[in-house]
Each structure stands twice: as structure tokens, then as C-alpha cells.
Amino acid sequence: MSGTTVGRLPAVAAPRAAIVPALVRQEARRLALHPVFLLGLALTAGGLLFTSLQDEAKRDVIGSVSSGPTFYAGVMALFAANLVTTRDRRAGSTEVLAPLPAREHDRTHALVLASLAPAGLTLAIVLIFHVLFLVLGFYGRVPAPGLLLQGAVTVWGGCLLGILVGRWAPVRAGAVLLVIVLMAFNLWAEGADPARRLFGFMTSWLAWDTRNPNKYTPLIHGSPSWHIAYLLSLCGLAVVAALLRTAPRRGGLIAVAVVLCCAATAAGMAQVR
């Protein structure tokens, strides 16, 4: 045997650009197939199907495609994303992940991008029933794209809030307390003032008239497109808040947060017309 000593080559970390896409695919699969989210998606589809079977006087097609997904898939997406985000801490396996080339910040990035998968599935369900409602002639007034996007955007926001709480408050009660706060805020937003309703997340666009509670009930005054811009600005703030917990440098993220706060304020004002 030769006495020559083979030099040990230094370990080379895998490029993070190659790691994140693999993490995104893995986390997207976990989020989209999580039993809690699948339950919310099934309830959303069930609610839309139930609406299609109702009599004309009881059929709320606008609410079923706009605010219905938020109540079912959105809330369940928040819990699912929180459980996926905190699974390693709950399993006590955070030390096992330490030697891996992906940092916790990379995993947060992957979770944020993966959260688009549940939103995409929700949008697909909404569009399928939207086409069905069009074919059956259920709409008195065909909803604008903003109304159709509301459910998917709020599901994405629910996922982002679940990730945010999982990073900043990884305790069992964190997600539950957040949902209670969100529901209390939405109840306040759904108050007597129609303009205030636009600042809620599960926004009901129908201006109900008890004398004529059917599909021809007029919509409240407001811009669905600017409402989506308002919600997307809030989603962006949730992304920044989640990344701030694990970011090695925070200056750029704080600057982005300031811009998003201004955008949310401007969009919030523009949606009330």
C-alpha cells in the first residue's frame, strides 16, 4: 500500500440557486396536499356546488365565487401553512437541518413561493364553477376579474400569514389567535358602512336588499381591481415580515415594507369610489 497521503478536498456547498427550486417543489407538494388545506378546498367546492343547487331567490353566486373561498380554503390554508412551517420545530429536528447547504432563510423563501400552489388550486376551482354559472345563466351581472381573483389572493394571503406566524411565533396557539384576530377584524369591516367593507379580507360585495334577495341584488360601490391591489400589497407585507425573521440583512426588506405600506394605503383609498 502506498504511503502517499491523499489530500482532502474542501467541501463545496451546493449553490443556493439550485437548492431553492427543489425546496419550492417539495414545499408546494406539502402545502397543496396537506389534509387541512384539502379539507378547506373540499368545503369551498362543496359550497359552490351547494350554491348551484339553490333556488334563484337564495342563490348567492357572487359571494360564492368571491368571499366563499376565503372563509373555507383561506382559513384552512393558514393552518396548513403554519403546520408545514413549524413541522421541524415540532418534531425536534431543527439540529438535523443545520448542516444542510440551505439556510433557514432559503427555506422561508421556498415556503413563500410554494404558497402560490394552494392559491392556484383555489383559482382553478373558482373558474370551473364560474364557467358553470355562466353556462347555466345564473349571473344577473357577470363578476369582474377582481371578484374572481379575490378568493385565490386571500388563500395566498392565508398561507403567507401561516408562514409568518410559524417563523415569529412557532407555538401551537399562534395560528389560532391570529385567526381569531382576523375574524374579529373582518366582522368589524362588514359593519353598516359599505365603504368599510372593502378593507376586509372576506369582502362581501352584495348590497343585500331584503325585499329582493336574489342574484340581481346590486353590488356595493367600489373597485374590485383596486381591492385586489390592496390585498396584494398586504400579501407583500406578509412576505416581507416572514423574511425579516430569517434574513441576514434587513435594510432592503424594511425599505420594501415602507413602499408596500404606501401601496396598500393608496390602493385602499382608490378602491373606495
Mind listing the pLDDT tens digit for each residue in 105-140? 888 989 999 999 999 999 999 999 999 999 988 887
Question: Residue 206 pairs with which residues in a beta bridge?
Answer: 219
* Domains of the chain: total: 1
Q: Cell for 70?
A: 376565503
Whether 91 maps to a domain, the answer reads yes
Whether 14 maps to a domain, the answer reads no
Whether 203 maps to a domain, the answer reads yes
Report the C-alpha gap between 47 and 72 in whole angstroms. 9
Is pLDDT above 60 for 173? yes
Using alpha carbons only, give the angle 141, 146, 148 rounded to the nearest 5 degrees. Answer: 70
Full-prediction pTM beyond 0.85? yes
Report the C-alpha gap between 91 and 87 in whole angstroms. 6
- Asked whether 150 and 66 are in contact (CB, 8 A), the reply is yes
Mind listing the pLDDT tens digit for each residue in 36-94? 999 999 999 999 999 989 887 778 888 899 989 999 999 999 999 999 999 877 655 55
Q: Which domain holds residue 188?
A: 19-271
CA torsion angle for 241, 105, 123, 47 (degrees, to 10)?
A: -70
User: What pLDDT score was predicted for residue 216?
Assistant: 54
Q: Cell for 39?
A: 379539507
Whether 121 maps to a domain, the answer reads yes
Whether 149 maps to a domain, the answer reads yes
- Using alpha carbons, select from 150, 160, 168 the residue that is nearest to residue 78: 160
Whether 126 maps to a domain, the answer reads yes
Q: How far is CA 213 from CA 61, 136, 144, 190, in A?
A: 12, 19, 20, 18
Residues 6 or more apart in contact with residue 186 via CB below 8 angstroms: 200, 201, 202
Report the C-alpha gap between 200 and 85 in whole angstroms. 26
Tally of CA atoms within 13 A in the half-sphere of 261 that contains its CB: 8
Whether 8 maps to a domain, the answer reads no
User: What pLDDT score was predicted for residue 262?
Assistant: 97
Whether 257 maps to a domain, the answer reads yes
